[in-house]
Structure 1
Amino acid sequence: CPDELRGRCDALFVEEAEETWPQFLRDFEAGVPKSEYRAAEKPDLRNSPMPRFDLLKVDRYHALTIQFARGCPFNCEFCDIITMYGRKPRMKSVAQMMAEIRECHRLGSHQVFIVDDNFIGNKKIAKELLREMARFGRENGYPVDFNTEVSIDVALDAELLGLLRDANFKTLFIGIESPRIDSLKETGKTQNLREDLVKSVRKVQSYGIQVQAGMIVGFDHDDHSIFEEQLQFVEEARIPVSMTGMLQALPKTPLHARMQREGRLLA
């Protein structure tokens, strides 16, 4: 939160820094850096330069990371991604992504994690990219394994699942959050209510893709039995890796605003 950071740093960057970082460098070089730089608008990722992967000692990394998109079309109450990046996904071009993937491969990386909070926020363009990734794999003997994060509605799109398999995706991290319907309704996780969650997970797994789960405890509709309920769900869905965290009311999220209205913020 910018208000909490002012006075604690020499230069504060508010919003994404693609446009403001070059200005800071010019000011710093001239000896007149400002105390705060604020982006006027969200950057177009199609203007992003190729990351300097060549500066890394690639053999010291299990995986290299790249980013396709920022933003998510959903409106989960607790999530700050839509607050930071917006609900309309902004993406790099397919050509940019393929250039980054080829560079990772050239440098000797065999694992690439696509760090998007929701890789399928724009399914149409995600499918275009996946077709090119599948072609790259076929032509090069599938030298790179891919992993990313997606929403559970991936299970409702057989074409998308097939493309993820063909592009050599090994693991998908999915925000399940809770097996309890009332908790999902409470937090606005509508995409998780369209189909039975175990059925959805099994469908992804049927394409040879491992599902890892993000889980949350602490919703208003949770009680002490939620822990056993979550354990039973993970076992029934055959999820090998599950990350469980406490619900947090992050600043500027809808959850934080509701907690504030209800007088439930103690610090």
Structure 2
Amino acid sequence: MAAAAALPDPAVFHFVAIKPTHYDDDGYPIQWVRSAIPSNTLACLNGLAEDVRRRNVLGPDVDFRIHTYDETNRRVRPEQIIAMIRRDGGRAMIGLVGVQSNQFPRAVDLARPFLAVGLQVCIGGFHVSGCIAMLPELPADIRAAQAMGISLFAGEAEDKRLDEVVRDAWAGRLKPLYNYMDDLPSLQGEPAAILPREHVRRTSGSLSSIDLGRGCPYQCSFCTIINVQGRKSRFRSADDLERVVRDNYAQGIGRFFITDDNFARNKHWEELLDRLIAIREGEGLNIGFTIQVDTLCHKIPNFIEKAARAGVRRVFIGLENINPDNLLAANKRQNKITEYRVMLQKWRAHGALTYAGYIIGFPGDTKESIKRDVEIIKRELPLDILEFFFLTPLPGSEDHKLASARGDWMDGDMNKYDLNHRVAHHPKMSDKEWEEAYKTAWETYYTPEHIRTILQRTAANKLGRLSTTLTTILWFTLAYSYEGVHPLEAGAFRLKFRSDRRFGLPRESPLLFYPKYVGGTAVKLVQYLSLYLKTKAMVKQIARSPQRYDYTDLAIAPPRDDEFEALDLYHETNGGEGALARKRRDDEIRDKAAAPVPVSIARAS
């Protein structure tokens, strides 16, 4: 590891935490004036660093300075950071935090200029942790980063583990690897995850984040969380939650994304929601939440009711597929398609905007079956937003581990592992067919006709939020159709800088770059405006219709007696008939168990 640069005033230490973005297909960092989702890792590291400063880990005479950057909404210029460190004096550590596989190439490129002047760099996040957890040896890209002098951090930095890294950096002796994968810490009582207000204002809706639990008990083969955060869940307390909410609210932030992969499986959910209800209803704090849940959350008594009272207005649901055979192939046995309609209708009844993730490329998929399944969802499930992902062997997942062991082809460019690019081959579809199927899925769901249907469903619901639904649909439609990025990594107004192009790619001539960037932006703005005006006119028409609250369709209609016989959901997909048979069998067993014991038998016993 390179020694720390010889700088004046050694009583200053700069902790620079950068959450990197990743490159677009032309090699430019994906950046926005405002991004969609805040970085919870950056918020956690900022909170932990604040705790390091409060406790004077480097001694009472050291001025511990924290600098945080989220590259999705703020340009990171290493030369300016280096100049700041030299101007202010002291020593420094550059931390590339929360680095996912698709962000690893960008993280390494950001490290280059810091390493060149002798500053210490450490990279942590899911890519490093997942590879260490699942592979017998480190892949070439991580080994190359180590050879450059980059230190690696695997695992989580709570339980004062950041102290060790900071002390080593202060001494100029960062270790090549900090590996905590075998010792995941408790979260209770840990410092609150918080970012300065100026950071949060760079996200859409001034949204901050909280993680109340880590780990997941399920065994989905495509998932990295179970192998990085563990299968035994760990939780924060209600006091921790209240502290995060109040600290953020004090700086004017009242909207939060709870980043837990499945909040419904947090065994303390009721205590946590009760605390939020007390804050909202007892004190009148205007707070709102977005959560992620599974498809069986509605079966937990009072869960949805209390979530609504606590301020949950947006819900991400891991639907993943409507073909039970595909779900079984991915070890996602917990999803029951026979529960999808009831679950979605219940969230709708409580005014929540529902999002669902849908994976394209399971072994049983074909181009035709994917289009058919999307049409079934449109017709029969009361879902607002559907987001599509390529089935991707992410490093850290069981799928990636097995594919590596078999020697299957996987794209060597980690930048493409964003779930929006195909990086493997499919057993049935050609590469072209798979890519076309992914494109077709987006185009099939977000048609003008179905956008009108979603808006009509929202308008017919007295708790529906028509304006919010409109802006969300526009966000998803514009991101994929015009920006060419997945909506979850989209933002408002794309930024591009000619000098920030990916390492190894030539810098474009200003005579080509600026006309293309400015002209392309102008064309997109016209397209945005055109779509906005059309949908806005549609919303006005729907809102003013005398029959607004009379609208109904198959998806939002109350359950029918012949529902299981009539719906294509159970009869057009492979495995649907089997799922229906299992439900009927389970219902019969439950009904028999609940049946009253005949009097004669009861007396005899």
TM, length-normalised to structure 1: 0.91
**Does the CA-based 8 Å contact 2:222-2:398 persist in structure 1?**
yes
Aligned to 1:240: 384
CA contact (8 A) 1:184 1:193 kept: no
Change (3 A) 1:47 1:140: closer
**Which stretch has the larger CA shift, 134-143 or 88-97?**
134-143
How far, CA to CA, are the matches of 2:401 and 2:169 in structure 1? 37
Query: Does the 8 A contact of 1:13 with 1:37 survive in 2?
Result: yes
Contact 1:110 1:145 in 2 (8 A): yes
State the shift of 1:126 in Å: 1.0
Alignment of 1:27 onto 2:164 = no
Q: Which residue of 2 aligns with 1:14?
A: 154
Task: Select which of 224, 231, 254 maps to 1:80.
Answer: 224
Alpha-carbon displacement from aligned partner over 1:32-60 (angstroms, at most 9, x marks no partner): 11111111510111142123434645444
Greater shift in the superposed pair: 149-158 or 52-61: 52-61
Cα distance change, pair 52–181 in 1 and its aligned pair in 2 (3 A): closer
Give 1:150-165 correspondences, 5 Å limit. 150-165=293-308
In structure 2, do the counterparts of structure 1 residues 189 and 105 end up closer, same or farther at CA, with 3 Å as the change threshold? same
CA deviation digits over 1:206-250, x for unaligned, max 9? 222221001101101111121331243145323222110110112
Paired residue for 2:241? Answer: 97
Stretch of structure 1 that moved more, 136-145 or 166-175: 136-145
2: CA distance, partners of 1:172 / 1:71: 19
Quick one: distance in 1 between partners of 2:189 and 2:359?
A: 36
Tell whether the 8 Å contact from 1:71 to 1:121 is kept in structure 2 after alignment: no
Bigger Rg, which one: 2
Identity %: 28
Decide which of 247, 252, 269 is 1:108's aligned counterpart.
Answer: 252
* 1:70-219 superposed matches below 5 A: 70-122=214-266, 124-193=267-336, 195-219=338-362
Write the distance in 1 (CA, Å) between the matches of 2:200 and 2:399.
Answer: 40
**1:139-180 deviations in Å (ceiling 9; x for gaps):** 233501111111111121241111101101001101100111
Structure number having the greater helix percentage = 2
Structure 1 residues 222 and 166 mapped into 2: Cα distance closer, same or farther (>3 Å)? same
Q: Does structure 2 conserve the Cα–Cα contact (< 8 Å) formed by 1:142 and 1:168? A: no
Cα shift at 1:92: 0.9
Cα 1:131–1:59, aligned 2, differ >3 Å: closer, same or farther? same
> Secondary structure, in 3 states, of the residue corresponding to 1:172?
strand
8 Å Cα contact 1:94-1:128 kept in structure 2 = yes
Distance 1:58 1:188, change over 3 A: closer
Counterpart Cα distance in 2 of 1:13 and 1:254: 21
**Partners of 2:296 and 2:339 within 8 A in 1:** no
- How many residues align? The count is 266
> Retained in 2: the 8 A contact 1:213–1:241?
yes
The 10-residue stretch of structure 1 (254-263 or 155-164) with the greater mean CA deviation from structure 2: 254-263
The Cα of 1:117 is off from its aligned counterpart by: 1.0
Contact 2:193 2:209 in 1 (8 A): no
Q: Which moved more, 1:245-254 or 1:215-224?
A: 245-254
Please tell me whether residue 67 in structure 1 is matched to residue 204 in structure 2.
Answer: no
SS at structure 1 position matched to 2:178: strand
1:70-129, Cα deviation, whole Å (9 max, x unpaired): 01121111111101111111111110111111122221113111111111222x301110
Moved more, 149-158 or 50-59: 50-59
Closer/same/farther in 2, CA of residues 155 and 265 from structure 1, 3 Å limit: farther
Return the offset for 1:138: 0.2
1:195 is displaced (CA, Å) by 3.3
CA deviation vs aligned residue, 1:1-40 (integer Å, no higher than 9, x gap)? 2513134152101222335422111011011111111115
The CA distance in 2 between the partners of 1:52 and 1:210, in whole Å, is: 26
Contact 1:105 1:143 in 2 (8 A): no
Question: Which amino acid letter does the alignment assign opposite residue 338 of structure 2?
Answer: E
Structure 1 residues 261, 26: closer, same or farther in 2, change over 3 A? Answer: closer
Inter-partner Cα distance in structure 1 for 2:384 and 2:358: 13
Q: Give the aligned residue type for 1:13.
A: F
Q: In the aligned structure 1, how far is the partner of 2:322 from the partner of 2:210?
A: 31
Letter in 1 for 2:163: P
Deviation of the 1:266 alpha carbon: 4.5
Contiguous gaps of at least 5 residues in structure 2: 1-130, 133-137, 412-605
Q: In structure 1, how many angstroms separate the alpha carbons of the residues matched to 2:212 and 2:287?
A: 17
Question: Cα–Cα, structure 1 residues 23 and 240, in superposed 2: closer, same or farther, change >3 Å?
Answer: same
Counterpart-to-counterpart distance in 2, 1:260 and 1:240: 37
Q: Which is worse superposed, 62-71 or 12-21?
A: 12-21
* Counterpart contact for 2:263–2:291, Cα < 8 Å: yes
CA contact 2:320–2:359 (8 Å) conserved in 1: yes
Structure 2 partner of 1:43: 185
Instruction: Tell me which moved more, 80-89 or 184-193.
Output: 184-193
Counterparts of 2:333 and 2:293, CA distance in 1 = 15
The one-letter amino acid of 1:176's match is L
1:145–1:169 CA contact under 8 A, matched in 2: yes
TM-score of the superposition, structure 2-length normalised? Answer: 0.42
Residues 234 and 17 of structure 1, relative CA distance in 2, 3 Å threshold? farther
* CA–CA separation in structure 1 for the residues paired with 2:347 and 2:231: 25
Query: Does the 8 A contact of 2:194 with 2:244 survive in 1?
Result: no
